[in-house]
Chain A
Amino acid sequence: MRFEGYEVGPFYDEMFLSSGRPRPGAELLVQKIAALAQGELSRRQQAAEQALLNLGITFNVYGDNQGGERIFPFDMVPRIVGAEEWASIEKGLKQRIHALNLFIDDVYHEQRIIKDGVIPEEIIRSAKSFRPQCMGLNPPRGIWNHITGTDLVRDGDGRMYVLEDNLRCPSGVSYVLENRELMKRTFPQVFDDSKVRPVNEYPSNLLKTLQNLAPDGVENPVVAVLSPGIYNSAYFEHTYLAQQLGVELVEGTDLVAADGRIWMRTTKGFERVDVIYRRIDDDFLDPKAFRADSTLGCAGLMDAYLHGRVALANAPGTGVADDKVVYAYVPRMIKYYLGEEMLLPNVPTYLCWEPEQRQHVLANLDKLVVKAANESGGYGMLVGPHADQAARDEFAERIKANPRNYIAQPTLSLSRVPVIVGEHFEGRHVDLRPFILYGKEIYVLPGGLTRVALKKGSLVVNSSQGGGSKDTWVLASNHGT
């Protein structure tokens, strides 16, 4: 299958230069794909999709009555990240995660950053994900954000920007691991000589990160993954991770608090749990501490946690750094805590709660992307240039009614990658979600989840909104020229 006729267009293309030549590092892959017989790539593409369906690698779509389960579409052409670029991304992410952890710890203790006038108190107090229950909390080893998924995008200028931080229950890592397996299974020959950095050390690193949190004196900690159950959109990932870690996948009803500890109900009585990788939001963790109507968590869990009898990853309250208004302060945070300049820049962000900036946003809704401070998954978002006047007017009203809850960013010219459309390639916009573990040290999984907006021209890459994914290749060294 040939790339002849493939249009880079006015965008930054991840695979090709504007001259149409492959980028350094992508030559070998382009050659290999070009050498395939006509139809070969799309045949393998279909085989891969069938394999996904048979393996039940699906996600649930909320509000969809057509069975609700879909495969997360997968495009066979990998996205390549060069060795040098990756090294600088990795460095930037480590810096960011380090600062964010210091910030969260500060927010729930002395709040020096507020007292020193770097972040207004109002912003913290009004963040929906701020948990007053966590004031004074000392999580094991002083770590709050054990698992983070940070969304990166590349603008037309070729620079990588941090679009948002996901510090609560970021999902997608299972697709990173599965996509790689799928590529090896359906298209093994492309790996020859490609020097792609492996991703399969993630599960054992995750397990170590979790074991690192075990209460003192526990030799062989019992780790469990806590899931809301099969109707959750990320359920596949929960089962997958539990399986990869070799730990029990539990639901709230499997757990019981007694004697200050947390236990699992088993066929042979109760078994103690030491570390819980929870994939449910703070609100639902414990009806005694948070939302009383939650049936997903375990009553008494927070109490056991606060007494150090069980560990939770991520720590409750971590979401305060996930707020999109707080995000805008991350550059200042890095400077404040680390005395460093930010290595990976933020996307310029307008805060609607500041009157001047709000005026600017309202006057330029047709050029900006507006996001609710507390939503994720592509919900609660307005892409100004692609919206009609009615939608823009509606958002203007929402912003005026609750300015704290909205931020706006310029509409980026997201970079594109070639995807298979029938028997040819077309460019589609992408982002990248690397996964970062904070254990004894900070570890960044090489690559991460490349999400593609499969709809022509679309900028929304979320799986719930028609996004797909690609295998992400971080090269061990830049080979070829």
Chain B
Amino acid sequence: MLSRVASSMYWLARYVERAENVARFIEVNQNLMLDLPDAQQQWEPLVVTTGDEDEFKSRYADYSKRNVLEFLSFDLKNPSSIRACVCAARENARSVRGNLSTEIWEGLNTFYLEINAAAADPRTRDDPQDFYQRVKQQSHLLVGIMEATMSRGEGWHFCHMGRLLERADKTTRILDVKYFLLLPTPGHVGTPTDEVQWSAVLRSTSALEMYRKKHHTILPQLVVDFLLLDREFPRAAHYCLQAADESLHAITGTPPGTFRNAAEQRLGQLRAEIAFTHVNEVVRAGLHEFIDGLQVRLNLIGDGIHESFFMLRPHASELNAQSMGAYQQ
């Protein structure tokens, strides 16, 4: 597969997943606010956790709900806004149309047209709940179309890997929203309010029912365990890393548990570490600090994928060197 095509497949899936998770983000905050009627509305954490404070402050006066939602949903100048992500996904898809089924392209194009229409419609701002619901549905629809219409070749694996790495990163960020949210008093930790908030986090990651099946009662430690370390729940960081690793090895043909390039090494290391981490260690290290570390590692894996597959090598003298062989143990 052409390097450029692989890169576009990877990014188109990442961008769709990113758009979906921004919607989840907003939803978790919305839920937290609704369940906390007397607390002051807090929308700042959403911008803080995505790391776009400077960008936000340069164009918006305050962290009002309307401003934050505009910034995260429709602002094309914010490259992580839902609309910007869907545009980017579509641009990537346009450049690799020959590798996508008509249904995938049509699905993504319809998604794009719908978002543009929603952005132009003033009613969306007044009552945005349906909009975020649609974003999630459209993203799920696309994943389903890919499942049902794409051969499990390199293209599919690049999409799959991109989507799961993005999801691992975003699930950790959703957990982080809870960290940044200020409780009315420190005494609230472990109170019914706290439990309500943790269930909101679970709901926003579509995890509530699966969690209850497994753990029954809502305890902070178990929620963290479920969203970070569970190997069966498809939005848990651990699950995402396992599945991304499998796709990576399907692409290269390198036997599982071994590596021949930077991407395989870094992803394998992180996957093993998460597999052998106990939630107590996460809590001891500090949840926020643990998540920070995880995000740095995920970025390095992304860099590794870029170097190993997408980077256009400047010298033709490498012609006969197998591209995979360049990075040896």
- Of all chain B residues, the one with the shortest Cβ separation from A255 is B2
| B109–A55 CB distance below 8 A | yes
* Stretch binding the partner chain, chosen from B41-49, B93-101, B184-192, B209-217: B93-101
Assess whether A268 is in contact with B324, with CB atoms less than 8 Å apart: yes
The residue from B2, B109, B251, B312 contacting A250, defined by CB atoms under 8 A apart: B2
Which of B4, B6, B251, B319 meets A259, CB within 8 Å?
B319
Tell me the bound Cα distance from A456 to B42 in angstroms: 57
B316 pairs with A267, CB closer than 8 A? no
> When the two chains form their complex, are residues B102 and A267 in contact, meaning their CB atoms are under 8 A apart?
no
**Distance (whole angstroms) from the CB of B308 to the closest CB of chain A:** 8
Q: Look across to chain A and name the residue whose beta carbon is closest to the beta carbon of B110.
A: A54
- By the criterion CB–CB under 8 Å, are B323 and A267 in contact? yes
Mark the stretch among A21-29, A235-243, A338-346 that contacts chain B: A235-243
Q: Is A249 an interface residue (CB 8 A)?
A: yes
Chain A contacts for B239, CB-based, 8 A: none
Identify B113's interface contact among A53, A251, A267, CB under 8 A. Answer: A53
Is B313 a contact of A230 with CB atoms below 8 Å?
A: no
Residues of B within 8 Å of A269, CB to CB, are: 319, 321-324
Write the chain B residue with the least CB distance to A57. Answer: B109
Q: Check if A195 is an interface residue, CB within 8 A of chain B.
A: no
Contact A239 B97 (CB under 8 A): yes
Report chain A residues within 8 Å CB of B316.
256-258, 263
Given contacts A250-B2, A267-B323, A268-B324, contact A54 B313 (CB under 8 A): no
Within the assembled complex, what's the spacing in Å between the Cα atoms of A266 and B309?
8
- Are B323 and A55 closer than 8 Å at their CB atoms? no
A267-B309 contact given A55-B105, A56-B109, CB 8 Å threshold: yes
B3 lies within 8 A of A243 (CB):
no
Does A264 touch B at the CB level, under 8 Å?
Answer: yes
Does chain A have a CB within 8 A of B1? yes
CB-defined interface of A202-224 with B at 8 Å, one 1/0 digit per residue?
00000000000000000000000
B232 at the interface (CB under 8 A from A): no
Chain B binding surface SS class: helix
Contacts of A250 in B (CB 8 A): 2
Residue-wise interface mask of B (79-98) relative to A, using a CB-CB cutoff of 8 A (1 in contact, 0 not): 00000000000010011011
Whole-angstrom CA separation of A54 from B107 in the bound complex: 8
Contacts of B154 in A (CB 8 A): 267
- Whole-angstrom CA separation of A83 from B312 in the bound complex: 52
Q: Tell me whether A249 and B98 are in contact (CB under 8 A).
A: yes
The answer to whether the Cβ of B289 comes within 8 Å of any Cβ in the partner chain is no
Q: How far is the CB of A478 from chain B (nearest CB, A)?
A: 36
CB-nearest residue of chain B to A257: B316
**With A229-B95, A254-B3: A55-B102 Cβ-Cβ less than 8 Å:** yes
Complex-state Cα separation, A302 to B310, whole angstroms: 26
Can you name the residue of chain B whose Cβ is closest to the Cβ of A261?
B319
A268–B317 Cα distance when bound, in Å, is 15
Total B residues in contact with A, Cβ cutoff 8 Å:
29
The CB with the most chain A CB atoms within 10 A, among B317, B319, B324, is that of B319
Judge whether B113 and A243 touch: CB under 8 Å.
no
Give chain A nearest CB distance to B160 CB in angstroms: 14
Chain B residues with Cβ below 8 Å from A62 are: none
Do B109 and A54 touch across chains, with their CB atoms under 8 A apart?
Answer: yes
* Alpha-carbon distance between A267 and B91 when the two chains are bound, in angstroms: 21
Q: Are B106 and A55 in contact (CB under 8 A)?
A: yes
Within 8 A of A (CB), among B201-260: 251
Is A360 an interface position by the 8 A CB rule? no
CA A463 – CA B313 in complex, angstroms? 39
Are B95 and A265 within 8 A (Cβ)?
Answer: no
User: How far apart are the CA atoms of A476 and B244 in the complex, in Å?
Assistant: 55
Q: Inside 8 A of A267's CB, which chain B residues have their CB?
A: 1-3, 6, 154, 251, 309, 323
* Cβ-defined partner of A253 (8 Å) among B91, B97, B251, B312: B312
Complex Cα spacing A239 to B251, Å:
24
Complex Cα gap A128–B113 (Å): 42
Closest residue of A by beta carbon distance from B6: A267
Interface residues in B281-329 (C-beta closer than 8 Å to A):
309, 312-313, 316-317, 319, 321-324
Q: Is the CB of A56 within 8 A of B105?
A: yes
Chain A to chain B contacts (Cβ below 8 Å), 30 pairs = A53-B109, A54-B106, A55-B102, A55-B105, A56-B109, A229-B95, A230-B91, A230-B94, A235-B94, A239-B97, A239-B98, A240-B97, A243-B97, A248-B98, A250-B2, A253-B312, A254-B3, A256-B316, A265-B3, A265-B313, A266-B6, A267-B1, A267-B2, A267-B6, A267-B154, A267-B251, A268-B322, A269-B321, A269-B324, A270-B319
* B contact set with A: CB distance below 8 Å: 1-6, 91, 94-95, 97-98, 102, 105-106, 109-110, 113, 154, 251, 309, 312-313, 316-317, 319, 321-324
- Apart from A235-B94, A254-B4, what 20 extra A-B contacts exist at CB < 8 Å? A54-B106, A54-B110, A55-B105, A55-B109, A239-B95, A240-B97, A248-B98, A253-B4, A254-B3, A257-B316, A258-B317, A264-B2, A265-B312, A266-B1, A267-B2, A267-B154, A267-B323, A268-B322, A269-B319, A269-B321
